[in-house]
Structure 1
Amino acid sequence: MVTDVAVYLVARLVLVAVLTAAIYGVGHLFVADFPVVVALLFAIVIALPIGIWLFRPLRERATASIALVDERRRKDREQLQARLRGEEPPKSA
């Protein structure tokens, strides 16, 4: 799970970095002292919708990994609660 989420996070950050560089380069052509912060802010705003569309497979894989971990934790919690009540825990599939 951690690797899937990390890959998605790094991909989003790389997208922001690439967009920042592109916006800064274009902005520097028109304005001599174009601020990097402005380029970064524009890149973040632009990267939000582009990243959702562009990195859909990575996002779906990360979401599936999180769902698997969630399901495993839920089953473990049910088994623990059943043992604490003195019942036989539900069978794991």
Structure 2
Amino acid sequence: MALYVAARLLLVAVLTGVILGVGHLIGLREFPLIVALLFAFVLALPLGIWLLAPLRRRATASIAAVDERRRRDREQLQARLRGEEPPTP
């Protein structure tokens, strides 16, 4: 999950640099950083869907595994509290 978040932030940083670079190439020497950053956020949303799809799938799978483990642990705890034999995985 942390790798996916870092990749998204890196994508925004790269896009900000590209926007500022293009601004300098076309003669806008005083292009505001905040404007470039906002454009980068807007562009990074759809680009991240396509470019970071494998990372997103890995993050989703790891979250699902954690949820499954928590669900199993909760079922075992509830069974023990009822005095039953906890289900085996």
TM-score normalised to structure 2 length: 0.94
Alignment of 1:24 with 2:30, yes or no, is no
Cα offsets for 1:37-83 (capped at 9, x unmatched):
00000000000000011010000011001101110010000000010
Match of 1:50 in 2: 47
Q: Unaligned 5+ residue runs, structure 2? A: none
Aligned length: 88
Match of 1:12 in 2: 8
Question: In angstroms, what is the RMSD of aligned CA positions?
Answer: 0.9
Q: Unaligned 5+ residue runs, structure 1? A: none
TM-score normalised to structure 1 length: 0.90
Cα offsets for 1:4-45 (capped at 9, x unmatched):
x11111111110000000101112333231100000000000
Match of 1:33 in 2: 30
Please give the alpha-carbon distance, in whole angstroms, between the structure 1 residues aligned to 2:55 and 2:81.
39
Please give the alpha-carbon distance, in whole angstroms, between the structure 2 residues aligned to 1:64 and 1:33.
44
Match of 2:63 in 1: 66
Please give the alpha-carbon distance, in whole angstroms, between the structure 1 residues aligned to 2:85 and 2:14.
55
Alignment of 1:87 with 2:84, yes or no, is yes
